Every structure is written in structure tokens, then in C-alpha cells.
């Protein structure tokens, strides 16, 4: 994270106050720009490092390499076709208690960003509930929402929106 030291400079550079009477009214000393923040410092947000995962989580032949659960429009239940996938991850978490998982819920782009964040949370919560029912420990799984902010498909059509109504299961090191 990098920070500029503009504000400190600002404090040093404050100039003296000079005033000129107007044509009649009383005097005040209000500066044109007394906002102490007339300088804006730029902050750069950092990234996290990825770590190595065991092959069973990444081998394309392993069901555990699949991480996405898709949802119907305005629906928040894990559909039957994804039960095996979620069950496999629940079993992995149950056998590997040192692993933690972040479940990220997503929505399509239509509507309010904050309301979509709440809808994505419902999807993530549903996946987490299934995982814990099937053996994952509550403290192994964190359910969060990315709302409409991280679309997998940026298109503005039904096919794109369907790809974006999704929950992703990520292991420590992948997020």
C-alpha cells in the first residue's frame, strides 16, 4: 500500500490570510477553500498471494476441480444437479479439517448493487448450509457475496445473466 504525503505538505503550505473589504457588508474570515482535504491522497489496495493446493482439488478429472453452482433467476436453492458436487466438497472439508473455504455468491447485473449483494449472500448462505449439513464444519466455511460486481460473463443477455447467477467455492490460497 502506497500513500502520498500531500496532506502534510498541505499543512505546511497554508498561506496567510489576506482580505479585501467588499462594498458594504460586514467582514468574516471564511476562506474559499477551508476544506482541509483540498488535496486527495491516493491509496492503492493490495492483493493476496496464492498457495499450492493438492492435486485432487485441481485435477480436471476430479469432481473437486469443479467449483461453481448455478442458480435459476430469483432462486436461491441449490438445485438437485449440484448436490453431488457440493457433497464431494463437504466430504473433502470433513476429511481435511485444516482446509478453509470461501463461498462467493453472485447475481446478474439487473437492479440495485446493494440489493444484489444481499441476493448473492442468500446463494452463498444456501451453499454453505448444504456443505455444513453434509459434514463440513461451520468454522471451515465463510459465505460472502460479490453481488453483481464480478460477472463471469459481461454480456447483457439471458445467457450471460445465467452464467452470473452463481456461487463459487474457493479454498484457502485461491482467494
Partner 1 sequence: MLRPLLRLRSLGLIVCSTFALLQTPAYAELTIEITGSGANKIPVAIADFGGDTGAGRAVTSVIRSDLERSGLFRLVDTAGVAMTEATAPNYGDWKSRGADALAAGSLGPAGDGRQEARFQLYDVTRQTGLGGTAFVAPAPRLRAVGHRIADMIYEKLTGEPGVFATRIAYVVKSGAARYELHIADADGQNAQAALTSREPIISPTWSPDGTRIAYVSFENKKPIVYVHTLATGQRVVVANFKGSNSAPAWSADGRKLAVVLSKDGGSQIFTVNADGSGVQKITNGPSINTEPFFSPDGQSIYFTSDRGGSPQIYRSGLGGGDAQRVTFEGSYNVSPRISPDGKTLAFITRRESGFRLAVMDLASRQVQVLTDSYKDESPTFAPNSRMILIATDTGGRGVLSAVSVDGRIKQRLSIPAGDVREPAWGPFAK
Question: What is the C-alpha separation between 84 and 171, in angstroms, rounded?
Answer: 18
As beta bridge partners, residue 70 has 166
- CB-nearer residue toward partner 1: 25 or 81: 25
Shortest CB 161 distance to partner 1, Å:
13
Determine the Cα angle at 87 with ends 141 and 148, to 5°. Answer: 55
Contact 39, 82 (CB under 8 A): no
Burial 81-103 (b: 16+ CB within 10 A, else e): ebeebbbbbbebbbeeeebbbbb
Q: Which helix (H) or strand (E) holds 130?
A: helix 113-133
- CB-nearer residue toward partner 1: 40 or 80: 40
Q: Which residues bind partner 1 (CB under 8 A)?
A: 3-4, 6-7, 9-10, 13-48, 102, 104, 110-115, 117-119, 121-122, 125, 142-147, 149-150, 156, 170, 175
Shortest CB 102 distance to partner 1, Å:
7
Shortest CB 93 distance to partner 1, Å:
16
Shortest CB 152 distance to partner 1, Å:
12
- CB-nearer residue toward partner 1: 32 or 80: 32
Amino acid at each position: 500500500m502506497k500513500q502520498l504525503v500531500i496532506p502534510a505538505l498541505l499543512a505546511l503550505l497554508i498561506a496567510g490570510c489576506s482580505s479585501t473589504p467588499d462594498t458594504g457588508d460586514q467582514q468574516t474570515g471564511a476562506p474559499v477553500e477551508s476544506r482541509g482535504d483540498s488535496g486527495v491522497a491516493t491509496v492503492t489496495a493490495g492483493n493476496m498471494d496464492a498457495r499450492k493446493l493438492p492435486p485432487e482439488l485441481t485435477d480436471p478429472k476430479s469432481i473437486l476441480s469443479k467449483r461453481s453452482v448455478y442458480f435459476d433467476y430469483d432462486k436461491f436453492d441449490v438445485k438437485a444437479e449440484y448436490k453431488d458436487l457440493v457433497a464431494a466438497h463437504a466430504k473433502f472439508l470433513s476429511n481435511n479439517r485444516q482446509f478453509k473455504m470461501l463461498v462467493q455468491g453472485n447475481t446478474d447485473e439487473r437492479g440495485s448493487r446493494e440489493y444484489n449483494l444481499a441476493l448473492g449472500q442468500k446463494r452463498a448462505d444456501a451453499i454453505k448450509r448444504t456443505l455444513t449439513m453434509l459434514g463440513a464444519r461451520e468454522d471451515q466455511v465463510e459465505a460472502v457475496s460479490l453481488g453483481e460486481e464480478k460477472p463471469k460473463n459481461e454480456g447483457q443477455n439471458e445467457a450471460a445473466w445465467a452464467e452470473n447467477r452463481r456461487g463459487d467455492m474457493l479454498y484457502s490460497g485461491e482467494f
